[in-house]
């Protein structure tokens, strides 16, 4: 069984609001067709969902910059530890689903 196309590992401290931004383009460097897809993101700890985001709820697409920002609607801080996360997209016309990335999120103790 194949994994996601990319592995994305994120690190932060427990003093920070959890959020990150990715830049996406097609393999040839052209703009990604953002409007053709629905987006879903999930963060888990010990196989239990901690956070789920969708296109209208915590995922902000900026087609002019070819970026997608993953940020909960309310400021969220994660407890120190290791999490697993992933993002998948679904083509709205065909229903084909692709897992774009998976990986880990490591949260360490901050100094505040």
pLDDT digits (tens, 9 = 90+) for 83-111: 999 999 999 999 999 999 999 999 999 98
List the one residue out of 6, 16, 61, 58 whose CA is nearest residue 35. Answer: 61
Band of the pLDDT at 4, cuts 50, 70, 90?
low
Distance between alpha carbon 78 and the CA centroid of its chain, in Å?
A: 15
Please tell me the distance from the alpha carbon of residue 80 to that of residue 91, in angstroms, as a whole number.
35
Please tell me the distance from the alpha carbon of residue 93 to that of residue 91, in angstroms, as a whole number.
6
- The pair of structure tokens assigned to 36 is 């053709």
Band of the pLDDT at 77, cuts 50, 70, 90?
confident
Please tell me the distance from the alpha carbon of residue 1 to that of residue 80, in angstroms, as a whole number.
31
Give residue 73's pLDDT: 80
What pTM was computed for the model? 0.89
pLDDT at 3 over 70: no
DSSP 8-state assignment for residue 66: T
């Amino acid at each position: 069984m194949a994994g996601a196309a990319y592995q994305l590992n994120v690190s932060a401290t427990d003093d920070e609001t959890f959020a990150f931004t990715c830049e996406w383009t097609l393999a040839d460097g052209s703009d990604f067709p953002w409007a053709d897809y629905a987006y879903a993101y999930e963060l888990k700890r010990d196989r239990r969902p901690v956070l789920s985001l969708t296109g209208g709820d915590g995922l902000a697409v900026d087609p002019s910059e070819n970026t997608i920002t993953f940020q909960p609607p309310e400021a969220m801080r994660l407890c120190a530890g290791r999490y697993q996360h992933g993002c998948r997209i679904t083509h709205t016309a065909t229903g084909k689903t692709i897992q774009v990335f998976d990986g880990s999120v490591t949260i360490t103790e901050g100094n505040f």
